[in-house]
Amino acid sequence: MRIGVYPGTFDPITLGHLDIIRRGAKLVDLLVIGVTTNPSKSPMFTLDERLAMVERECADLGDKIRVVSFDDLLMSFAEKQGASVIVRGLRAVADFEYEFQMAGMNQQLNDRIETVFLMADVALQPIASKLVKEIAIYGGAIGKFVTPEVEREVAAKVSAAGRRGS
């Protein structure tokens, strides 16, 4: 069985993430979506909320997908999952530079796991979770970037926190 890992914080999951998940799932028998904490980011959603969000948004993919949390080196997590492939999405040149360096480091840690890059759909390339949150915080519409349910969840978080700049 060919297992792939698609890691991320998914805070929140965007249409760009979903595009990479759907396409990545075609390359492997099982795609493990690794939802991680990232100490350099301040998440809007808790880990449990993000896990539930990703599971709900990927439910139509059935047994091709497994959603798991992790707080470990990516290569250690991938080994524990039995993965032979890491799936990463690329949006722009800046992504490539970072991802290229990360893939090289990961290969040094474990050369049995390949990194596969998928280019984001052209219409989805500008989407980034960080920008989606920023747009929402300042009252902008995010419906073009996330599913309706995620849009409602982001709006509820923004409302609960109170809008900045008011």
Q: What is the domain range of residue 74?
A: 3-122
- Active-site residue, selected from the candidate residues 17, 50, 88, 133: 17
**First-last CA distance in the chain:** 53
pLDDT of residue 13 exceeding 60, the answer is yes
Split into its structural domains, the chain has a count of: 1
pLDDT at 79 over 60: yes
pLDDT of residue 166: 46
Q: Is residue 28 part of a domain?
A: yes
For the question of residue 159 being annotated catalytic, the response is: no
CA distance 12 to 154: 8
β-strand pairing of 30-36 with 3-8 = parallel
Q: Residue 110 falls within a domain, yes or no?
A: yes
Q: What is the CATH number of the domain that holds 53?
A: 3.40.50.620
Considering the domain boundaries, does residue 131 fall inside one? Answer: no
Active-site annotation holder among 50, 88, 91, 133: 91
Does 71 score more than 60 pLDDT?
Answer: yes
Q: Is residue 23 part of a domain?
A: yes
Query: What is the dihedral sign for C-alpha 62, 66, 69, 75?
Result: negative
80 is a catalytic site residue:
no
Residue 128 located in a structural domain: no
41 is catalytic: yes
pLDDT digits (tens, 9 = 90+) for 116-145: 999 888 888 888 999 999 999 999 999 999
Whole-angstrom Cα Rg for the chain: 16
pLDDT at 165: 46
Q: Residues 6 or more apart from 98 whose CB is under 8 A from it?
A: none
pLDDT (mean) for 84-89 = 96
Smallest CA-to-CA distance from 15 within 62, 58, 69 is with 58
Q: What percent of the chain has pLDDT over 70?
A: 96
Q: Copy the structure tokens of residue 43.
A: 């998440």
Segment 91-118, tens digit of pLDDT = 877 778 888 888 889 898 899 999 999 9
pLDDT at 155: 95
Query: 19 lies in a domain?
Result: yes
Q: Please indicate whether residue 91 is annotated as part of the active site.
A: yes
Of the residues 2, 41, 80, 163, only one is catalytic, namely 41
Average pLDDT over residues 43-67: 96
Residue 106 in domain? yes
Nearest CA to 53 out of 163, 140, 156 is that of 156
Asked whether residue 146 is assigned to any structural domain, the reply reads: no
Selecting among 50, 88, 129, 133, the annotated active-site residue is 129
